Amino acid sequence: MNILDDISEFLQQGKVPKVKELVQQALDEGIEPKAILEEGLLKGMGIIGGKFKNNEVFIPQVLIAARAMNAGVEIMKPVLISSGVKSKGVAVIGTVKGDLHDIGKNLVKLMIESKGITVIDLGIDVPPERFVEATIENNASIVCCSSLLTNNMMEMANVIKALEDNGIREKVKVMVGGAPVTQEFCDKIGADCYTVDASSAAEAALSFCA
C-alpha cells in the first residue's frame, strides 16, 4: 500500500494525527500536492461518502473523517496555493433566516468539500441578503439553503428572490434541502436542485461545477 492509500485509509478511520503525519511525509517525499489532495484526502472522503449513502457508515464516522480531511488540507494549504491547485468551484451554504439547526447543513458542507469544492459556510439564521453578498464576494456558482423548520422553509424562496433582485440568479444554481423539504417544494419556489441526502447533494454540486 502506498502512502496515498494510507492517507485515504487513516482518513476514513478519522485518525487526525496519522493523516497529518502522512500528509507531511508525502510532501517531504516530493509527491505532487494535487495527487496528495485527490488520491489521498479526497479519495478517502469520497469512499466515506459512498459508504454513508449506502448506510454502511453513520454520521459520526463521516464527521470524524471530515475532521481528519480538514486537518490534512490545512497542512497542504500553502503548497496548494503556491502550486496553483484550484478548487473545482465555490458554493455558499447556510441555514435560512429564522432557523438555528445546523446538523444537516454541516453534513452537506462536509460532503461538498469532499468533492474538492470550496464551501463558504454562512452558519445559521442567514438572511437572504447575506446569501447574495457572499455569492458576489466569493464569485460562487452554487447557493445551498437548508431548513428544518416548516414555518421557515419559505425563506428559501426569499433567497431566490434576492438573487433575482440583484441580477445574479442566472449565474448560480440554487440547491435546497432539509427534513421538511421535498422535490415538489423545490419546484414550487423555483430552486434548481433538491436532494434527499448529503451525498447526493455533493454529487449534484459537483455536476454543477463541470
Partner 1 sequence: MKTDMNRWLKDLRENSVKKALPILSFPVIQLMNVTVKELISDSDMQANGMKLMSERIDSAAAVSLMDLSVEAEAFGSKICVSENEVPTVIGRIVESLEDAENLKIPAVGDARTGIYLDSMAKAVKLIHDRPIFAGIIGPYSLTGRLMDVSEAMIKCYEEPEIVHKTLAAVTEFLIEYARKYKEVGVNGIIIAEPTAGILSPDLIQEFSTDYVKKIIEAVQDESFIVIYHNCGNNTIQLIDSILDTNASAFHFGNAIDMAEMMKHIPVNKIAMGNVDPAGQFRNGTPESIREQTLKIMNSCSKYPNFVISSGCDIPPLAKWDNIDSFFKAIKEFYQQ
**What is the C-alpha to C-alpha distance for residues 102 and 125, in angstroms, rounded to an integer?**
10
How near is the Cβ of 177 to partner 1 at its closest, in Å? 13
- H-helix segments, the chain: 3-12, 16-28, 33-35, 42-53, 59-82, 103-113, 128-138, 155-165, 183-189, 198-209
From edge to edge, which strands make up the β-sheet containing 142-146? Answer: 118-121, 90-95, 142-146, 173-177, 193-194
In the bound complex, what is the minimum distance in angstroms from residue 56's beta carbon to partner 1? 10
Kindly tell me which residue out of 8, 14, 75, 93 binds partner 1, with binding defined by CB under 8 A. Answer: 14
Closest distance to partner 1 from the beta carbon of 50 (Å): 16
Residues contacting partner 1: total by CB under 8 A: 24
What is the C-alpha separation between 73 and 119, in angstroms, rounded? 13
Pick the binder of partner 1 from 101, 130, 161, 169 (CB under 8 A): 101
Q: Which of 57, 79, 136, 168 binds partner 1 (CB under 8 A)?
A: 57
| Contact between 103 and partner 1 per CB under 8 A | yes
Q: How many CA atoms lie within 13 A of 15 on its CB side?
A: 12
Which residue in 50, 78, 123, 180 binds partner 1 (CB under 8 A)? Answer: 180
- Choose, by CB under 8 A, the member of 3, 27, 79, 149 that binds partner 1: 149
Determine the Cα–Cα distance for residues 128 and 126; give it in Å rounded to an integer.
7
Binding segment for partner 1 (CB under 8 A), chosen from 62-70, 86-94, 129-137, 155-163, is 62-70
Q: Which stretch binds partner 1 (CB under 8 A): 22-30, 102-110, 114-122, 133-141?
A: 102-110
Per-residue binder mask for partner 1 (CB under 8 A), 70-99, x = binder? ----------------------------x-
| Distance (Å) of CA 189 to CA 111, 112, 131 | 25, 23, 16
Q: Strands 173-177 and 90-95: what pairing?
A: unpaired
Contact call for residue 5 and partner 1 (CB under 8 A): no
